Structures are given as C-alpha cells and as structure tokens.
Structure 1
Amino acid sequence: MKKIQFKQIFLFLFLLTGIIYISNTWSPSSYAYFLKDHLGYEEIKPDFGQARPVRSDEWAVVTPMTQATVRNHFERYNKTSLYQEDLRINYGLPIADWGIIFKPTMWLYGLVNPAYAYSFHWFAIFSLFIGGYAFLFTKFGATNKIALLLSFGLYFTGFSQFWWNEKGPLIALFPWVIIPFFLKIKPIWQLSLFYYFAVSWLLTNLYPPVQISLAFVGFIVLLLLQPKLFKLPTFVYLLIFAGLAAGTAALYLYDYLKETSATVYPGGRHFSGGNVPSRFWLSWLFPGINFSWSYKDLIGMNMSEVGAVGMYYYISVLCLLNYKNFHTLWLEKENQKIFVGLTIAFFMQCAWMFLPVPANVGMILLWDNVQPLRMQFASGVILTFLVFYTANIVGIVFSWHRLLLLLIIATAGWGFFKYTIAPTRWEDLVFLPIIGLAYLAARNKPHRAHSAIIIASVIFGTLFFGRFNPLQSAWPIFNLEDNHVVKYLRNEEKVNDNLLVVTDLPGATANGFGFRSLSHVTPVPHMDFWKKSFPETSADELNYIFNRYSHINPYPSLRPSLRQADSLEVPINRFSKMKNAVAVQNYSSKLDKIGMFNIDKIYADAVVFNGWGGWQGEMKSRDIEIMVEPPSPHQIEWITTIRSDLPRNTANKISALNGFRLTLPRSDGTLPHCLSLISVDQKTGVRYLMDNPPTLPYCQSSIN
C-alpha cells in the first residue's frame, strides 16, 4: 500500500511540476544572454538563475536553428537563409517530414505556440532522463525511492548540467534504447521498441562521441542483466534491428553525413586515448574542486569542459562501506558476475581517458571516434551502477567514527585540491553539515543509512550544480517585438539588397531572428557559394578555410581566414558597401572627447579597431575623420556595429548603434606611429575626438 501511495504522490507532484513548467513556457535556455548583450533587450531575463554565455552551442546554434525551422514553416530546406541549407542536420529540429515520427518530444510544434512546444520538449527530455535512469537502477536492485534519488543524483552532476541544454536529449534518451529488453512483452515488441527508441536517440541529437561511449554502457548492461539476448538466434535479430535503426537514421541524414564525411572539420577525425587531466578523476570524488560557486572555472578551461560526473555519494560509500561483508559479493555467481563486469567496463573507460591507448586499439569499440574527455558521462553512469551495486550488496555502516573519517577526507580533498588554487572558495564544505544531518537522521536506523547518504549527495548536487541552467521563459524566444536595434538591423538588411551583413551576431542568431544574414552556422559547407565569392583564393586555401562546419563571421578584414576549427571570418566589403573614412592633415585640438576605440585585431596587412563614437544625429549623416602617420596608401573603411553596452555605460543620447569597426591597411602589419579618430555629424557639423588606447598616441594637430 505504501509503495502504491509513494508512486501516486510522486507522479502527482511530477505532473504538477510539468504543468507549472510548461504553462510558464520555461526552458533551460540561455538565449536571454544574446537578447540582452547583443540586441539590447534589457528587460528580458530568466525567472530563475542567469543566462550563461558559455552555453553558446545552445543560445547561438540549437535555439536559433529551432527558431529558423519555425519561421520556415517546418520545411526541410531553410528558405529564410542566404545559404538555403538543409535542416536535416546533427541537431534534431522539428521538421515536418517523416523523421518527426521519431522525435516525440517535438510533436507539439505546429499545434501550439512554439514557446509551449519548446518548453514541452525540454520538460519531456528531463522526464525521460529521470524515468529512464531510475528504471535502470531498479534493475541493479534499487528500490523505487533509491532509484529516483540516484537518477536525480546523476542529473545534478557537472556533465549533465553544463551540457544539458544542448546534449541533454542524447543522454536522456539513452536508457530508453535498452529499456524495452526488460519489459515483459513479446520479443518482437521488444525489438520494435528498441528500433524506435534507437532511431529517436540518433535523430534527436546526433553526436557520435557520446553515443558510441553510451552504446558501450548499453552493451555492458544487457550483457550482465539480459545475457539471453546474446544467444542465437536472438542475437541475430538484435543485430538486424540495430542495423535497421542505424540504417533509418543514416537514410534520414544521408545528405548531411555524405557532405560532412568529406570536410576538413569534423571530417574523419580519429583519436587516441589519454590526456584527460588527473583533476577530472579527482572531481569524481570531490565534485566542486575545479570551479567556484558562481561557476568560474579554476583551472583555465572552458566551464562546460570541466563538467564531470562527480558525486559525494562515491566517497561516502568508500568511507561507509561494510568491508567485513565484502565477501558477500562472491557468494552468489550472479553478484560476482555483475560486480566484475562493471569493474572491468569502468577500468576500460578509465584506460581510454587517462592512458595513451593507440587509436587503432580504440577502433575495436569505435572509441577512436570518441575524444577521451567525452567519455565522461558514460564512465560516470558505469561508476554509479558499480558503486550502488556494491553498497547495496555489501551494506553501509553509518557510525560516528566512519562519519568522522568521511568529514576528514572531504575536508582534506577541499584543502589539497581547491584551497591551494582558490583559498577564498570554501563552498565544497557545504557538504559537511549536510552529511552530518544525514547521520543524525539515520544513526539509529541502519536500514536508512544508504538512502541517507544518497539524499545528502543529491542535496549537495542540487545546490552546487542545479543553479547552472536558468528557468527562462521561451515566450520571448518566439514572440518578441522589435526594439530599436532590431529595427536598425531590418533597415540594414533592406538597403543591402535583402542581405544583412553586420558583425557580432553570433552563430545562427541572425537567421533565427528572421534575417537573411551572412553571419550564420552552416553544418555542411557551401563550397560553390564561397568559390564564387572569392575567385582569387586558391583551391587549397579555399578548401582549408571553408570546407568545414562553420560559424560564419562577417568582419572588416581584407581576406577570409580561419578563427578556430569551427569558426571563420569573411570580409564584409565583399557583401556590403563599407563607409570610407576621411583622411585629414589636421584637426582642432580643442575638440571635446566623446567615444573611444581599441585595437581589435592585427593582421599581416591590416589593423582593425573597435570602438564607439559620439554621433547623435541620423545614421546616414555619420562619418569618421582620421589622421594617421605614416599615411595609409589604401582606402580606410569602417562599418557601424552594435554596442549594447552603451545604453548602460554612457549618457542616454548615446545609443547601442554608436559602435564601429575601422580597418586600417598596413603593408607591414605594424601599428601606426600615431592615430586620431574624430566622429563627425555631417548634418550638424558636430565633431568629437575619440579616446585612444594607452599604447597608441594621438597625432599632434597644429590647429588650436
């Protein structure tokens, strides 16, 4: 009766949470960062938490691509884009084609306002994660309550939270691929459900490094718990349906896979094992040692990259395990098999992450396609299975001296591995009172000791990791009125032959907003377009720069170049007319100073400056006068840019549209001896001298 009551209460609360979540159109999106810091929508912010700039894979790619799909009326080819790209890509999008059958979390698109559909998708992904992993934990012997706690524990870890709003679908759907084989239904239905969920897993978010590593987890789980699947003829049927699932996904993504396989990046990348820093496995035991409470990394890496599957549950079990009963793991052959199997699987994963295993060895399990750092989540799943299974069989001793040992080790871990690099960061010690309260609650109730330490670990994980992703209403993502910045952009698009060419609109954000924009993200290259645009560029250089997954960034440079493996820049003046700066020999030294500029980039043949001027008149009447020594032999061009920081940091009469970038050609790639920039309102004649960067002197004027 109590078991049924618990299920009913949990389901009621879960459904109530879903209703509240979706009715508020909440999501884990950090898109508000783009709206505020790039378009000046000051009033838009999450209802809880804050937008994370580091999650650009979401707010600059996945969410804008979803917006573009909605604006494109869910058609396959993006007619709103300059590149007319195929939207059947690695990121699952709600395209209205036969693939939508395998994307159940996206079925509300086209039926309700997309804000509700977007919110439903993310709550469904969360639900699938919690329910799926809880189900698997029950198969390793967990009660329903403990299984749910462990599932939430896995959810509130660094990897899950730091990658959630982009890779959440592929880690959430994984359990459902193998769950059918545990259901008491006919084999044909097991195989059919396996096929469906496998295709869904691949199409909702295709990212082979994580999927290959999780497929290994699925193989181990089925091998240990459902060994009959690997007997003939069942195993043959399993291979057939697995092949059908892979074939269906490949058929759907055929054009994308074909084009991507021939690219420079990601192309046919292969990896060897090793090179994962030791601080990562230490963070399994001490989850917060690599970053602060405010999510600032402490080891010089991208914040998302430092996310591991770390829980204080692991170290708690190490300290509280009843080692006198360890022999019970060997009393039954089934227990021994599961313990040994999970242990071997875990150490195989560790070997790939930490040892220099050759790529040709990794090819046996396709791990040569898995960056060692991307093995993090799969290894965390296996480790959690192993730790729970061991503790559940052997038992927990929650005595005061064991508690003292745990407190000492947790404190020492903080002291050795975090205090030494961040002496003012003490947030890891929050675990100490939590586990202390857990001890007080369970000290006279040995049967509750295991659940008590899991609860303590989950509470810490919720406090430490649960604040990373915001609760952001999706309403402004899909239903937003144009502000003055967006109206300016729409005019720029209109006057430039229906093509928006501006800087600082990251990723696919411009197209997501409805612009036919040069800046975009193209998962597959458009080589014919670039060959036509840059006929003077050699074939080899063109291939190296453009034949890749690309964030395309318009920039006032003189020629195209590569910023990083997945990001390139293209000269603005090939696609939009830039303004010419007026070279002057002198200027009034009594000019008031409003505005400033800094050195943005130095090339072999040019220097680009980024700044803002004191213009207060119409856009079309704005100009820049420049005095430079030695004089430039070529025309100096500039372009207006958006500076959304200006309304917050300057007088109200200076707007976000006062930004600019100026390109100064230089034959030797060095800075000029001196430089002065003057903003000019041609209509009013008002001139302001801009502040120079400290390292670049003004040119002296002879006019007082």
Structure 2
Amino acid sequence: MFNSKEDKYWTLAFTALLFVTFVIWITFGLYQSHYLIALRILGDTTTNTIIGTPKEGRGDEWSTYLPMFKQAYHESFSLFSTLRPYYERLDWFIAIPHANASLFFLPNQAFYWLIPPTAALSLQGFYYNALFLVSTVWFLSNIGAKRSIAIITAFSILFSEFFQMWWTSNFPALGACILPFAIFTSRVRDIYRFGLLFWSLGHLLFGEMYPPFYMSTAICLIPLTIACRPDLLTRRSLLFASLAAASAAGSYLLLNWDFVRQVANTSYPGKHSVSGGESSYKAVLSLFFPAMPDSSAPSLYAIYEFSMAGSILPLTALACMPIIQWSRSNLKLTVLVGMVSGALLIYMLAGLPDVLARFTGSYLGAGRRMHLGFSLLVNFYSAIILSRVEKFKLESFLVPALFFSITGFFFPPTKEMQTYFFCINYLPYVPLLALLTAYIFLAFAWKTEDHAIRAGIVMLTCAAAAQIVVYGAFNPLMRANDILKPVNSQFTADWRALYRKNNGRPLAIIGNYGHVLRGEGLPALEAIHLANVDLHAYETIFPTLSPREIDSLFNQFRGLAFANIDKMDKSGPTVRIPIEPFAVPFAHMISHDEFVTGNLTPRIELLSTSKSGLGSYDVRWQSVLVRPLGIEAPLTLHLDCLTGTSWLTRYPVVIPGQPPAEVALQGLAGRVTVYAEDENGARTCVSRLKLSSS
C-alpha cells in the first residue's frame, strides 16, 4: 500500500507517540485502576482519579488483586503474609513480585526493588500497554501487514471494548499474548529466536495464570501464522517451538507447582470442563459494529462477558473482497481463516459435545473466553487483506463507513453502554465523517491521484482514535502513589480502635469488603482467597465447621463477608457469615423507661427474626448513630417490652462531610430476645428501640 519511506514515517510517528506517552505517564505516576472505589469504602474522600470514573463491576481488580498486591507491598513482597489470622500465601492469578527465580521471566518486576514501588507500579501499567502495541505491530509486520495498517490495528484492538473491560484484571495475559507469535515469526537467528520464544512464553505464563485466554489465542493465531508464513512449517521450527513451549510450561510448574495443584483442585472457575455455547450472535456482530447493543448484556458484568474486540477493520476488509487479487496464497489464507472462524462460531454459539470438547482441548475455555482469539483472528486477517489490496477505490472505505453509521442509527447503544463508555453514541459516525472530510480536503489540496487511499487511512486512523476516547475512558487513570499509600481516615482509625478494644485479636465488621481491609495491613477476617491459606487456619477461626465443610466452603475462589444474620449464606460468590461470634461486643444496659432523652438511633432497620423459645423471638437489627461516640461511652437500649438477652456491636461506617473525631464507630448492630405473642409483636417492639449514652 505504502512504500518503505512512508512505512518509516509511520514507525517514527509510532515510536514518538510511545515515547511522549511514556514521559507523561511516568512523570505523573499514572496507573489504570478502579481502586478509588476501595478508597471510598475505606473512608478516603479526598483522593480522586486524574480522569475517568471507577466501575464497581471490576471488583476482581479493586477488591482482590490490588489489595493483595498492597498487602504484599507492605510486607516487602514476602512469599507468605505475617498478617493474622490467615497468614496467606501472597500469590494470585496475576503475579505478585517475589525475589526468586520468577524474576528471570518477569524482569519488569525487578523494578520494585530498584526504584520506588509507586514508580514501579506506574511503569508496570505503561509496560504492558506498550508491550501489546509493539508486539502486535511486530507480529503483523512479520506476517505481511503494512506498517500503517499494523499500527492502526494494534491501537484498534487495545482500545476495544473487550480489551479495556478485561484489562485491569488481566493485563499480563492480554499485554503479553502476542509477543511469542511476534518472536516466532521474526527474522532473527534461530538460536536467539527460540531462546527468546522460550522466555516470552515464560513471561506470559509467569505474568498471569489464566489458561482460557492462552488456549483461545493459540487456537486462533497458530493457523493464521502458518497460513501467512508457510516457511515456518518445517521440522526444525516446529521442534524447537515445541521444546520452547514445553520448557516454559515446565519452568512455570516447577516454581509454582504447589499453588497450581491447589488451584486445580478448587471449584474455580466453577467447572473443570465446559463445552461452549455461551455466546450470542449479537456479540459476534459487535466485532463488526462495536457500538451495537447486545440485549443479553444489560449489566456491566454481562457487557464485559459478551464483549468483543470490535473495530471497523473487519467491515473494511469485507468491502475490499471484490477488488483484491485472489492469488493462491490469499485463497489459502481466506479458506483457513474461514474454517477456523466457522469452528469457533459453532463452539461459541452452539457448543460441542463433551467428548469432542475434551479431544480438541477447547474445554479449557468457556465459549465466551473464545471471544479473545476470535477477535484477534478476524482483526489480524483484516489487516493482512487490507495490506494486500493493490489499488483502493473510494467505495472500499465509503461502504463500510456507511454501514457503520446506519447500524449505529438504527441500533443505538443502550443507556448502560452510554454510562460505561464515553460518547459511544457518536462512535458509529466518526469513520464516515472523517472519510468525507479527508477526501474533500485531499481532492482539492493534494494534487495526486491517491487521495482515496489517503482518505481511507485517515478514516481508519480516526476510527482507532475514537475508540481510544470511547473505550479507553472506561478505565480511569489514577496516581500509583494514591493506590499504595496507607489510608488514614475516620474509618481506619475506628477499625484500629476496635482492634485495641479486642485486645489485638483479629475481628470482623459488618459489610462486604473483599480483601480491602487486609490490603491496608489490618488483621481483618474479611478476605478473598483462592487456595492460598492453610485449611487448618480456617479450622481455628471457624471451630463450629467440620474439616469437610471447611474444604468445600473455602477451597475455592470466594470472598468472606460478615453480616448480622442467623446462619451462614453460601449461595453467592461471597460467603456471608454470621457476625456475632466474630465482632467486638459492647457492654450495655437495657431500660424499659418510656421517656428517653438524647436518642442516638432515630431509625432502626429490622433484619431477621427467629423463634428462640416458647413465646420468645430473637430479633436482629442495625442502625447508625447520629453522632460520634467514644469507644468506652456507656450504652443503654430502651425497649418498651419484656426482653431477655441482648448482644450489641459497633463498627466503622463512612459518613461523608462529618468532622473527624478521635473515635466515631457510628455503625450499630445487635440482637435482642423479645417476649411477645407473635413475631409481628416482637418486631414492632424492636422497631421502637432507642439508644442513649449518659
């Protein structure tokens, strides 16, 4: 399409863009994260993102990975935590830095010991973004794509719905997934090429343990690589590539076998064997029309589950089919890609029999996890086709731009999509507007005959730039320092006051905090674990559970949260545990006076009610104090009915705008036994509960 001189200009522009971004990124210490949600939960109301709004649906990042990373950071990246009561092994799907042999494959993590950790965290964020862009451009150039198309494709994929929605919780897997293919197809000497291939595969595996993405990428890109580079289909290449892959996998298992074995025996990700059939045809169409809504994806969780790495490139490649020279190599490439795509569509939409899924290895990835490989395959194939067109016409770009706009008009993005993706309702019209503007300008100002192709390149570039704005804004930018610095708020001060009152013993409070509290170095019982805690620790903490119950309950990827309930709730991804045995109890009096001065609980929230005996009921309740109260302040509950035993606890809550106090502890929860004729009578009595302190 372009001569080598123009390819050189594109390469220089690409390099300059990365360099400028690097300088800005490191200068401001940026990092893509939704961790602001965790900071708000902890009572930090002053820290803000630099740009963008955090999304609660990315909880696997802000409530799990980053808190565990922060816990490891506070403990000098030791292998095991010294934080009571779990003493967990500080390993996760995403690699947490450790000073061991893994640094050979992850030299980027060595920076946590060489430079300030906040700068190293920021550098990690830039590194994986740049790694994907560079390795994608390198790979596409190696298999025949023009440099301009390769660069546009790299940005279009990185800033697609799929990549941005999955990025913060899977950046090592996504950022490094193309590097092995780029090295394998490179022209360097074999001794270096296969050595680097071994290292790159190790870099991928050690960076994140997530086989579904690796299986998806391999199934789709290996056939494409062979079709574009048949010269690599030799015994020598295949032998050394296989040895490199086996050696990398062996190295990973050698260093992480205990953790891998334990994770393999858990129920995560819910099934050990899947046979596909979980996707939708609208999800497939979104690969060609990125802004097209999927009715099966009304929530943020469903939107990212059904997302594709869509761009205008596949539609443009389809429009170029009539004008491409159908040489033997183009036919072979198209037939092979068509066969692989057809098989993937069957697997994603309909599924395969279990026997066939196991035989092909596809059982390792759910149907929707194949979206990654399918997206890469179609976009990369489109880049190759566009690079092989000898002479473009205006229609080659006008037709896809029109279809893009018409589809966006008749199938506009949903309100949910407009909430999550900045100005996505304008995305379908960007290519057409850019194409017409560029064509008119070039037709009058550029006295050459190739203004159609140049206008087309402007269209593709603007479409990629629009995706950077629309989808790139999904992940807010924070300062890495704001993530790693300790949170000093009323909430954390109250928690520490509770800890002192509890004589330095681990405790629980009401709420769902994921791993956030332990990320602050607090010995909290709330956590998210996956096979990284000795089950004997759970036996000590939960003595009423049998070893079999502990194994079935905690030997999987689930969170531990505490609530004012009667019995354990195991129904969701987070186990809700009764708070009473694990909270800090507060001594209190019970009064039956009808007149109360200084009531501190104007609103009582009634929770569960259970029959505790003949004519008696246990009523659980919660409330919030109207003002801060000292931790040793005397407490009196006022009830106008006959009562038995009572239990009361206080816990920290975030109340925006309230002046700081030495101790606030305004969260209040309790259980009281009430003697009444029936359940309604018991609840009515507790609904009139008042609390005073004098």
- What TM-score do you get using the length of structure 1 for normalisation? 0.86
| 1:56 alignment partner in structure 2 | 59
1:84 aligns to 2:87 (yes or no): yes
> Distance in 2 between the 1:423 and 1:271 partners?
33
1:223 aligns to 2:226 (yes or no): yes
> Distance in 2 between the 1:401 and 1:429 partners?
22
What percent of counterpart residues are identical? Answer: 18
Return the letter of the residue paired with 2:346. Answer: A
Pairing partner for 2:322 from 312, 321, 324: 324
Partner of 2:669: helix, strand, or coil?
Answer: strand
| 2:448 alignment partner in structure 1 | none
2:227 and 2:336 in contact (8 A); partners too:
yes
| 2:447 alignment partner in structure 1 | none
1:611 aligns to 2:623 (yes or no): yes
Partner of 1:276: helix, strand, or coil?
Answer: coil
> Distance in 2 between the 1:581 and 1:414 partners?
64
Return the letter of the residue paired with 2:513. Answer: P
Instruction: Map residues 445-464 of structure 1 onto 2, 5 A cutoff.
Output: 445-464=451-470
Instruction: Map residues 248-287 of structure 1 onto 2, 5 A cutoff.
Output: 248-266=251-269, 269-287=272-290
| 2:39 alignment partner in structure 1 | 35
> Distance in 2 between the 1:607 and 1:651 partners?
33
Pairing partner for 1:392 from 387, 391, 397: 387
Question: Aligned in 2, Cα 1:32/1:267: closer, same or farther, shift over 3 Å?
Answer: closer
Pairing partner for 1:545 from 546, 550, 553: 553
Partner of 2:402: helix, strand, or coil?
Answer: helix
Pairing partner for 1:658 from 666, 677, 680: 666
| 1:439 alignment partner in structure 2 | 436
1:577 aligns to 2:584 (yes or no): yes
Residue 90 (structure 1) shift: 2.0
1:131 aligns to 2:134 (yes or no): yes
Instruction: Map residues 201-350 of structure 1 onto 2, 5 A cutoff.
Output: 201-266=204-269, 269-290=272-293, 298=298, 301-318=301-318, 321-326=319-324, 328-329=325-326, 331=327, 333-350=328-345
Residue 580 (structure 1) shift: 5.9
Residue 472 (structure 1) shift: 0.2
Instruction: Map residues 592-671 of structure 1 onto 2, 5 A cutoff.
Output: 595-598=602-605, 608-621=620-633, 623=635, 625=637, 627=639, 635-644=645-654, 646-648=655-657, 657-663=665-671
1:14 aligns to 2:22 (yes or no): no
1:72 and 1:78 in contact (8 A); partners too:
yes
2:71 and 2:518 in contact (8 A); partners too:
yes
Question: Aligned in 2, Cα 1:257/1:412: closer, same or farther, shift over 3 Å?
Answer: closer
| 1:531 alignment partner in structure 2 | 539
Return the letter of the residue paired with 2:342. Answer: F
| 1:501 alignment partner in structure 2 | 508
Question: Aligned in 2, Cα 1:2/1:396: closer, same or farther, shift over 3 Å?
Answer: closer
> Distance in 1 between the 2:308 and 2:149 partners?
22
Question: Aligned in 2, Cα 1:453/1:597: closer, same or farther, shift over 3 Å?
Answer: farther
| 2:360 alignment partner in structure 1 | 365
Return the letter of the residue paired with 2:266. Answer: T
Question: Aligned in 2, Cα 1:291/1:405: closer, same or farther, shift over 3 Å?
Answer: closer
Pairing partner for 1:466 from 472, 475, 480: 472
Partner of 2:537: helix, strand, or coil?
Answer: helix
1:581 and 1:626 in contact (8 A); partners too:
no
Residue 94 (structure 1) shift: 0.9
1:397 and 1:449 in contact (8 A); partners too:
no
2:619 and 2:683 in contact (8 A); partners too:
no
Residue 544 (structure 1) shift: 2.7
Partner of 1:619: helix, strand, or coil?
Answer: coil
| 2:174 alignment partner in structure 1 | 171
For residues 598-646 of structure 1, the C-alpha deviation after alignment (integer angstroms, 9 at most, x for no partner) is 45678999765443122443122163626487x776x4433323322x2
> Distance in 2 between the 1:11 and 1:66 partners?
31
2:606 and 2:687 in contact (8 A); partners too:
no
2:490 and 2:661 in contact (8 A); partners too:
no
Return the letter of the residue paired with 1:16. Answer: V
1:180 aligns to 2:183 (yes or no): yes
Which blocks of at least 5 consecutive residues in structure 2 are unaligned? 444-450, 613-617
1:105 and 1:125 in contact (8 A); partners too:
no
Residue 22 (structure 1) shift: 1.3
Instruction: Map residues 404-419 of structure 1 onto 2, 5 A cutoff.
Output: 406-407=401-402, 410-416=405-411, 418=413
1:382 aligns to 2:389 (yes or no): no
Return the letter of the residue paired with 1:618. Answer: G
2:434 and 2:459 in contact (8 A); partners too:
no
> Distance in 2 between the 1:626 and 1:16 partners?
66
Question: Aligned in 2, Cα 1:677/1:482: closer, same or farther, shift over 3 Å?
Answer: farther
For residues 141-183 of structure 1, the C-alpha deviation after alignment (integer angstroms, 9 at most, x for no partner) is 3222221111000011111111111111101101111222222
Partner of 2:287: helix, strand, or coil?
Answer: helix
2:526 and 2:562 in contact (8 A); partners too:
yes
| 2:28 alignment partner in structure 1 | 24
2:26 and 2:122 in contact (8 A); partners too:
yes
For residues 62-115 of structure 1, the C-alpha deviation after alignment (integer angstroms, 9 at most, x for no partner) is 111211221111221112352122223322011111112211222210222211
For residues 327-346 of structure 1, the C-alpha deviation after alignment (integer angstroms, 9 at most, x for no partner) is x22x2x22222222222222
Return the letter of the residue paired with 1:625. Answer: L
2:623 and 2:669 in contact (8 A); partners too:
yes
For residues 119-151 of structure 1, the C-alpha deviation after alignment (integer angstroms, 9 at most, x for no partner) is 000100110011111122223432222211110
For residues 500-538 of structure 1, the C-alpha deviation after alignment (integer angstroms, 9 at most, x for no partner) is 422336222112111122112222153222233334334
Question: Aligned in 2, Cα 1:387/1:487: closer, same or farther, shift over 3 Å?
Answer: same
Residue 250 (structure 1) shift: 1.1
> Distance in 1 between the 2:226 and 2:431 partners?
37
| 1:693 alignment partner in structure 2 | none
Partner of 1:568: helix, strand, or coil?
Answer: strand
2:312 and 2:400 in contact (8 A); partners too:
no
Return the letter of the residue paired with 1:620. Answer: E
> Distance in 1 between the 2:400 and 2:166 partners?
33
| 1:478 alignment partner in structure 2 | 484
1:140 and 1:385 in contact (8 A); partners too:
no
> Distance in 1 between the 2:221 and 2:118 partners?
34
> Distance in 2 between the 1:423 and 1:20 partners?
28
Partner of 1:564: helix, strand, or coil?
Answer: coil
1:519 aligns to 2:526 (yes or no): yes
Partner of 1:562: helix, strand, or coil?
Answer: coil
Question: Aligned in 2, Cα 1:655/1:612: closer, same or farther, shift over 3 Å?
Answer: farther
> Distance in 1 between the 2:664 and 2:390 partners?
63
> Distance in 2 between the 1:84 and 1:420 partners?
44
Higher mean C-alpha displacement, 151-160 vs 429-438: 429-438
1:625 and 1:677 in contact (8 A); partners too:
no
2:283 and 2:294 in contact (8 A); partners too:
no
CA RMSD between the two structures: 3.5
Return the letter of the residue paired with 1:197. Answer: S
Question: Aligned in 2, Cα 1:173/1:621: closer, same or farther, shift over 3 Å?
Answer: same
2:36 and 2:49 in contact (8 A); partners too:
yes
Question: Aligned in 2, Cα 1:501/1:532: closer, same or farther, shift over 3 Å?
Answer: same
For residues 425-457 of structure 1, the C-alpha deviation after alignment (integer angstroms, 9 at most, x for no partner) is 994344325422323313641332542332232
> Distance in 2 between the 1:142 and 1:105 partners?
29
1:647 and 1:655 in contact (8 A); partners too:
no
